[in-house]
């Protein structure tokens, strides 16, 4: 957010080096920045190794530039700067150039290798040949060069470098002292010499002294020189040293180190404990990618431990926690896999009935995302039955929240609103401490419930419920929760016809999503925000936003919301007069809504299709009448008063086009009366304007 704000004042260049070494949270921030860069005056430049993978390749504003090896002329210039121009160097330079193959790091390390072997004498840029090196004095690969340099170190320095490599690329001094077989004075002297030899460099003084390997390859070669047995021994020492620290010092970075070294050292019980703790800490910071990686690591470590009641319970809980990390990332296929595994584990013994209830609750949400509304409600009902049997009120609260969406999408708005009321919980911490939900029941349930109330025209209660959801989210200061609550309130404004208010609240939610790396929530917000843009006359922005959302949804294989995005695109195109482009999209939206039996959405799509059919140079009046009749029937069955009023307005326009002016005028007046009763002011004014136009 700070970078985007800065870019509004002046062009901004962001440079990130060695991306392949970035942690998952940094990568998530960079992904969000890249997604936002298309619409901002921002140039993002990153460097990374060829094996690094990212998801930017499909973006039209991304360009990859391969950094080739140095050309012969550039290699010669670099050697002149490294070695100098002494005549005795004439046979050495071609030999180095041939071995290095244009790799500048290889050249630098090869020069240091020859200096340490005594083949070169002098200082950087002013060397001369002390004795002519043989071709075998210059190893054939950079790894061999580094290995040779490390092998020539005095035994104590070599051991210290290897010990440092076991810690990682970045090496806190205190941790090195805790695991090294040397006194603090000896360590200080060794570090000074390793810095002078350019193996290490000092990078931080606060909050503690820290060193880093000068190059990632140096770290890799030093670590590779350790036997597997010695690596595990060092990992065990590192874990013990970190565990000895005070609890107040155990921030997420230390827990991350504990998880890493326990896993690598095959300390399986500790690997499970610390990987899980690291995942929970990452989840609390909304670092969903990092959290998912930690939970997957914990599951892998747990597989090495004996199976008993406690380990089975942990295996279930880890999969539930993993689901909460994967959901915001759109990894729904993996979510379904882990929930299926969790259910199978929970069904093995009666003592896991409470967990089975929670799994059923989560499967309710997962089935909803797969458009399996009947299954979703069946899972929810089972969870409620288990909650009642074991007296688990918090589980019942969460389940009611999860059931709001399948009720809403299947068009049962009364039950959706009722479930939302049952999901209101005075204790906002229970959802986080026990369930690990990303969005708490009072926010999730109330947001969806407000949509259901808005569909019925109960706007006063819808606004109150949406406002409570937003207040609860702001109290918790959760980006995902706030964004979801913004979606809830924005849709209420949109249904009531207040495009300006809808834009303001939905843009706030979108900005939060871009900052917090919430790609799936961006997709949920994009459709309603585009509709609000179109309603406010900003059709160009509406179309651009939807095109971006569709491309992102394809990249994530995210189907949820595609029906609405298709309809909103048709709506935006219709607003620009592009009838030919809008028509097939409106038809597709109707087909998709029918396919998933989303009855309420289908009713709205039919009204849109009728609107498209009656416009243009060759309107299909018969088709418009047919689909509009079905729309009004569904709206009546579902109690969708705002849609009924909108359909009346569309019908008035259709009657006018048929030349039935009196019927059109009466229908427009009826629509205006309905809109006024619902306090849908802008639509009432539109209906009244249509009536006046027919009086002329």
Q: How far is CA 381 from CA 7, 373, 384, 387, 419, in A?
A: 50, 12, 5, 10, 12
Residue 347 resides in a domain: no
- Reported as a single tens digit per residue, the pLDDT across 178-226 is 999 999 999 999 999 999 998 999 988 777 899 999 888 899 999 999 9
Average pLDDT of the chain, as a whole number: 89
Rounded to 5°, angle at Cα 611 from 606 and 614 = 120
Rounded to the nearest 5°, which phi and psi values hold at 15? -115, 125
2: pLDDT confidence band, cut at 50, 70 and 90? low
Peptide bond into 207 cis (omega under 30): yes
Pair 62, 94: CB distance under 8 Å: no
Neighbours of 396 (CB within 10 A): 22
The domain total for the chain is 2
Rounded to the nearest 5°, which phi and psi values hold at 121? -130, 150
pLDDT of residue 32: 73
Residue 82 sits in the same domain as residue 135:
yes
> Which DSSP category does 68 fall into?
P
- Tokens 């009366």 belong to residue: 673
Residue 57 sits in the same domain as residue 93:
no
Strands (E) in 359-518, as ranges, are none
Residue 91 sits in the same domain as residue 52:
no
Of the three residues 130, 148, 166, the one that is the final residue of a domain is: 148
Residue 41 sits in the same domain as residue 87:
no
Q: How far is CA 272 from CA 197, 398, 467, in A?
A: 39, 27, 41
Q: Is 60 exceeded by the pLDDT of residue 433?
A: no
555: pLDDT confidence band, cut at 50, 70 and 90? low
Residue 60 sits in the same domain as residue 81:
no
Q: Is 70 exceeded by the pLDDT of residue 119?
A: yes
Residue 271: CB partners within 8 Å, gap ≥ 6? 259, 262, 263, 297, 298, 301
Name the burial class of residue 669, with classes exposed (0-12), middle (13-18) and buried (19+) by CB atoms within 10 angstroms of its CB.
Answer: middle
In sequence order, what are the beta bridge partners of 120?
129
Q: How far is CA 268 from CA 251, 295, 303, in A?
A: 21, 14, 9
Residue 78 sits in the same domain as residue 136:
yes
**Integer Cα distance of 689 and 696 in angstroms:** 11
Residue 132 sits in the same domain as residue 76:
yes
- Reported as a single tens digit per residue, the pLDDT across 222-269 is 999 999 999 999 999 999 999 988 766 667 778 999 999 999 999 999
Structure tokens at 567: 């309809």
427: pLDDT confidence band, cut at 50, 70 and 90? low
Name the least confident of 271-280, 514-523, 536-545, 651-660.
514-523
**Closest by CA position to 404, among listed 359, 468, 449:** 449
- Reported as a single tens digit per residue, the pLDDT across 500-538 is 999 999 999 999 888 777 777 888 899 999 999 999 999
Residue 51 sits in the same domain as residue 118:
no
Residue 78 resides in a domain: yes
Residue 395 resides in a domain: no
Range of the domain at 107: 72-148
Residue 44 sits in the same domain as residue 78:
no
Query: Which of left, alpha, beta for 167 (phi over 0: left; psi -120 to 50: alpha)?
Result: alpha
Over its C-alpha atoms, the chain yields an Rg (Å, rounded) of 32
Structure tokens at 671: 């629509």
Structure tokens at 464: 């109150």
Neighbours of 233 (CB within 10 A): 15
This model's pTM is above 0.75: no
**Integer Cα distance of 651 and 663 in angstroms:** 10
Residue 108 resides in a domain: yes
**What would the 3-class secondary structure string for 130-160 be?**
CCCCCHHHCCCCHHHHHHHHHHCCCHHHHHH
**Integer Cα distance of 658 and 642 in angstroms:** 24
């Amino acid at each position: 957010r700070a970078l985007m704000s800065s870019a509004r004042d002046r062009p901004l260049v962001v440079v990130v080096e060695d991306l392949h070494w970035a942690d998952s949270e940094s990568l998530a921030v960079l992904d969000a920045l890249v997604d936002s860069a298309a619409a901002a005056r921002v140039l993002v430049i990153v460097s990374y190794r060829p094996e690094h993978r990212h998801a930017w390749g499909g973006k039209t504003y991304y360009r990859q530039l391969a950094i080739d090896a140095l050309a012969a002329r550039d290699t010669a210039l670099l050697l002149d700067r490294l070695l100098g121009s002494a005549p005795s160097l004439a046979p050495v330079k071609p030999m180095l150039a041939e071995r290095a193959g244009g790799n500048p790091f290889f050249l630098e390390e090869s020069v240091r290798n020859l200096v340490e072997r005594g083949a070169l004498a002098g200082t950087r840029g002013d060397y001369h040949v002390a004795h002519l090196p043989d071709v075998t004095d210059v190893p054939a690969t950079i790894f061999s060069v580094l290995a040779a340099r490390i092998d020539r170190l005095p035994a104590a320095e070599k051991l210290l470098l290897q010990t440092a490599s076991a810690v990682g690329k970045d090496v806190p001094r205190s941790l090195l002292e805790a695991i090294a077989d040397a006194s603090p004075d000896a360590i200080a002297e060794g570090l000074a010499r390793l810095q002078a030899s350019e193996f290490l460099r000092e990078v931080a003084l606060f909050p503690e002294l820290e060193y880093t390997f000068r190059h990632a390859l140096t770290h890799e070669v030093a670590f590779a020189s350790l036997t597997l047995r010695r690596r595990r021994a060092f990992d065990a020492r590192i874990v013990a040293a970190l565990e000895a620290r005070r609890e107040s010092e155990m921030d997420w970075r230390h827990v991350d180190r504990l998880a890493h070294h326990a896993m690598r050292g095959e300390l399986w019980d500790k690997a499970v404990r610390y990987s899980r703790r690291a995942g929970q800490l990452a989840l609390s910071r909304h670092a969903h990618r990092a959290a998912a990686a930690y939970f997957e690591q914990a599951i892998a470590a747990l597989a090495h431990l004996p199976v008993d009641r406690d380990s089975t319970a942990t295996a279930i809980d880890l999969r539930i926690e993993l689901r909460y990390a994967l959901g915001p990332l759109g990894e729904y296929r993996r979510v379904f896999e882990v929930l299926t595994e969790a259910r199978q584990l929970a069904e093995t013994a009666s003592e896991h009935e409470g967990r089975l209830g929670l799994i059923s609750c989560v499967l309710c949400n997962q089935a909803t995302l797969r458009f399996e509304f009947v299954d979703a409600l069946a899972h929810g009902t089972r969870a409620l039955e288990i909650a009642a049997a074991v007296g688990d009120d918090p589980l019942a609260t969460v389940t009611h929240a999860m059931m709001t969406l399948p009720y809403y999408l299947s068009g049962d708005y009364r039950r959706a609103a009722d479930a939302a009321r049952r999901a209101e919980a005075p204790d906002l911490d229970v959802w986080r401490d026990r369930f690990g939900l990303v969005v708490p029941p009072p926010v999730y349930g109330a947001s969806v419930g407000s949509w259901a109330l808005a569909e019925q025209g109960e706007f006063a209660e819808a606004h109150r419920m949406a406002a409570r959801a937003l207040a609860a989210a702001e109290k918790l200061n959760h980006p995902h929760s706030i964004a979801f609550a913004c979606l809830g309130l924005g849709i209420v404004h949109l249904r009531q016809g207040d495009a300006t208010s809808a834009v303001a609240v939905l843009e706030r939610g979108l900005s939060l999503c871009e900052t917090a790396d919430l790609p799936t929530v961006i997709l949920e917000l994009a459709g309603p925000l585009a509709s609000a843009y179109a309603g406010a006359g900003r059709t160009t922005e509406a179309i651009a936003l939807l095109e971006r959302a569709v491309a992102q949804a394809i990249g994530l294989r995210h189907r949820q919301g595609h029906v609405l995005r298709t309809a909103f695109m048709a709506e935006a195109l219709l607003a620009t007069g592009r009838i030919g482009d809008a028509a097939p999209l409106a038809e597709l939206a109707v087909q998709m809504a029918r396919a998933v039996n989303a009855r309420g959405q289908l009713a709205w799509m039919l009204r849109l299709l009728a609107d498209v059919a009656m416009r243009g140079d060759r309107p299909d009046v018969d088709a418009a009448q047919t689909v509009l009749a079905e729309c009004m029937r569904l709206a009546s069955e579902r109690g969708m008063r705002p849609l009924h009023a909108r359909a009346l307005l569309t019908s008035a326009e259709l009657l006018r086009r048929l030349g039935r002016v009196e019927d059109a005028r009466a229908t427009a007046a009826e629509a205006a009366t309905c809109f006024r009763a619902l306090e849908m002011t802008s639509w009432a004014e539109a209906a009244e304007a249509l009536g006046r136009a027919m009086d002329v």
